[in-house]
Structure 1
């Protein structure tokens, strides 16, 4: 069965896409910790990050680097944090989280809710900086 991320990649589920190429996709987290929380995902469906082949892993991190660079230009933050947790969806994904304080990357905190218009605005801002 396809993961929810594979369904997003195939366009079966809508998302707020930030960037995409042949091998990777970045989109806003539907349940963000903070404004701009972005997921970077390989299109190859693999459960655990350490099960990726080295080329895919390095490509994922290179793609994430570019997204984080863009995020820092347009999302007010002290830095962009990175986390790989992977317990909630069995498909490798990197969380890029704009940080202004340590609690911004606390996955136990309540998730933020933004309107569809706000989510699109955030995605468009990040896209414009890439």
Structure 2
């Protein structure tokens, strides 16, 4: 697959857009979500453009899962949680990506679709500050043995 010029995640992969990276290799990059469900929420993307999870080559999907397991072990320690959710949602951005969310509550990743009550107002998760993201990215990257991790000056 090729990179897409207007794809947000392709731009992150090419370092055209700043991201709080915690891991990068020749096939994928992991970075902090700027509007995290919980602190330490990480996304893993392939460097090449694949629109959805089922488009990924099997070996790349397996590598993303292996990296997810590695990151989850670090998240458990750093975020003081017993479990981490791994999700391939296929939602907002058509570039295959996995979310790793430290689970503080069992409802941290519950979809709005399951709520049966009416007249409920939802809001987006707030954007984390640059300081919060930098500190978390440095801790996760260090625990993963990453050196020279790209941290933006501003987001």
Give the alignment's TM-score, normalised by structure 1.
Answer: 0.92
Q: Specify which structure has the higher proportion of strand.
A: 1
Mapping 1:50-129, distance limit 5 Å: 50-106=54-110, 108=112, 110-129=124-143
TM-score of the superposition, structure 2-length normalised? 0.78
Q: Which has the larger radius of gyration?
A: 2
Quote how far apart the aligned CAs of 1:78 are.
Answer: 2.3
Cα distance in 2 between the residues matched to 1:128 and 1:121: 11
Task: Work out the number of aligned pairs and report it.
Answer: 130
1:29-73: CA deviations, max 9, x gaps? Answer: 122111011001111210111111111111111121111121112
Runs of 4+ in 1 over 6 A off after TM superposition: none
Which structure 1 residue ranges, 5 or more long, are not aligned?
none
| Contact 1:34–1:97 (Cα < 8 Å) also in 2 | yes
Secondary structure in structure 2 of the residue aligned to 1:97: strand
* 2-structure distance, mates of 1:98, 1:48: 23
The answer to whether the 8 A contact 1:34-1:112 is kept is no
